[in-house]
């Protein structure tokens, strides 16, 4: 379970981030990948040297960042979200295609592209192949949410039929089923609105709203991806552009809270599935804001406060302590 979001502010900042809903931690921490980071492709003998520095939530194995979500210094953002039952990758590399594994995709995109338009064009030439990272780490069933400083966003889904690349007019993503299914489903909920419905008379009974919020009656509230897609699309559609970056970041996290899973709400095979962390990246500034479930408050890591020409990954510990501003 995951939810991705974009939001623009009145001071022209583009915020991009996600909820990571999981039943376990995966060694995640904020990692800065400097320019010219080099990695070997799994599907052939090529080596890739990245162009752009990246800031990301990732787990690092053998000096390799397995990226959950991140952005680069050029303002491109990429997040992988779970896509169970539908994600289906090629068993073997495909001729005449640039073959990538699913975990290489974000690293390659963030390392080498600036805009959604560039990415969209490049994706015509790629194929995604199911080659495990190592003996212990396989390939996750993901789809990807990609955005940039123009505010455009894309969804990339590789199913048993083909590699689909969708323009994303609602600026959000959740989980299965596919993006086109969710977009059709949204039409079912066009009656939801922030305003109150009018009083009515049913037979001889005068009916009135019991309290405010009655225009949202019927809003689905389940934890599944179908319900979260509707909720997140609704709140994004009804959010006014925040006046400045600070208000935008606050609003962004409040919007993610609207689809978050508190501990206890969902059990997956006897483990609690919950919103492990929420992230919000300032694509213009290269700052990665996140809150862990335990820290509750917002933490920030600025990629420009490290040497982006270094030849080492920068790892910042994952904050699990409650952030409290003690007033007295």
Residue 178 Cα distances to 40, 213, 226, 236, angstroms: 31, 30, 10, 20
Pair type for strands 142-147 and 153-158: antiparallel
Non-local CB neighbours of 208 within 8 Å, separated by 6+ positions: 199
Q: Print the binding letters for residues 159-198 with a second copy: x by CB under 8 A, - otherwise.
A: ----------xxx---xxx---x-xxxxxxxxx--xxxxx
58, 82, 247, 305, 321 from 128: Cα distances, Å: 20, 16, 38, 34, 38
Is residue 119 close enough to count as binding a second copy by CB under 8 A? no
Q: Which of residues 207-266 bind a second copy (CB under 8 A)?
A: 207-227, 231, 233-240, 246-247, 249-251, 253-255, 257-258, 260-266
- The two three-digit tokens of residue 268, written as one number: 């997956």
26 near a second copy, rule: CB under 8 A: no
Residue among 24, 27, 44, 294 that touches a second copy (CB under 8 A)? 294
Q: Which of 134, 162, 202, 309 binds a second copy (CB under 8 A)?
A: 202
The neighbour count for residue 107, using CB atoms within 10 Å, is: 25
Q: Which of 73, 157, 273, 282 binds a second copy (CB under 8 A)?
A: 273
Q: Between 62 and 264, whose beta carbon lies closer to a second copy?
A: 264
From first CA to last CA, the distance across the chain in angstroms is 39
User: Per CB under 8 A, does 96 bind a second copy?
Assistant: no
Out of 45, 134, 204, 309, point to the residue binding a second copy (CB under 8 A). Answer: 204
Neighbours of 233 (CB within 10 A): 23
- Nearer CB in complex with a second copy: 11/257: 257
Q: Is 24 in the site for a second copy (CB under 8 A)?
A: no
Write out the catalytic residue numbers: 2
By the rule CB under 8 A, 38 interacts with a second copy: no
- The rounded distance, in Å, linking the Cα atoms of 147 and 16 is 7
């Amino acid at each position: 379970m995951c939810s991705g979001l974009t939001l623009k502010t009145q001071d022209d900042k583009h915020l991009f981030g996600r909820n990571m809903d999981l039943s376990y931690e995966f060694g995640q921490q904020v990692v800065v990948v400097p320019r010219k980071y080099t990695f070997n492709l799994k599907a052939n003998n090529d080596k890739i040297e990245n162009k752009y520095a990246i800031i990301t939530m990732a787990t690092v194995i053998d000096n390799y960042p397995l990226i959950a979500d991140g952005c680069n210094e050029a303002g491109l953002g990429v997040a992988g979200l779970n896509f169970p039952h539908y994600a289906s990758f090629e068993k073997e590399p495909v001729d005449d295609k640039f073959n990538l594994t699913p975990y290489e995709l974000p690293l390659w995109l963030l390392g080498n592209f600036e805009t959604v338009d560039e990415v969209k064009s490049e994706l015509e030439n790629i194929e995604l192949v199911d080659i495990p990272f190592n003996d212990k780490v396989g390939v996750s069933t993901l789809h990807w949410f990609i955005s940039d400083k123009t505010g455009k966003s894309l969804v990339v889904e590789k199913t048993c039929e083909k590699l689909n690349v969708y323009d994303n007019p609602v600026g959000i993503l959740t989980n299965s089923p596919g993006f086109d299914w969710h977009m059709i489903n949204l039409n079912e909920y066009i009656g939801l609105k922030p305003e109150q419905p009018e009083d009515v008379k049913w037979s001889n009974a005068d009916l009135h709203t019991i309290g405010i919020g009655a225009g949202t009656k019927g809003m689905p509230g389940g934890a599944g991806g179908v319900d979260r897609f509707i909720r997140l699309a609704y709140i994004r559609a009804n959010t006014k552009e925040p006046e400045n970056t600070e208000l935008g970041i606050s609003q962004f996290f409040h919007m993610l809270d609207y689809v978050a899973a508190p501990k206890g709400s969902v059990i997956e095979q006897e483990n609690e599935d919950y919103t492990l962390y929420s992230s919000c990246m300032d694509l213009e500034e290269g700052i990665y804001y996140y809150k862990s479930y335990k820290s509750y408050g917002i933490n920030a890591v600025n990629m420009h406060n490290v040497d982006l020409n270094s030849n080492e990954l920068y790892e910042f510990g994952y904050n699990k302590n409650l952030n409290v501003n003690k007033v007295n």
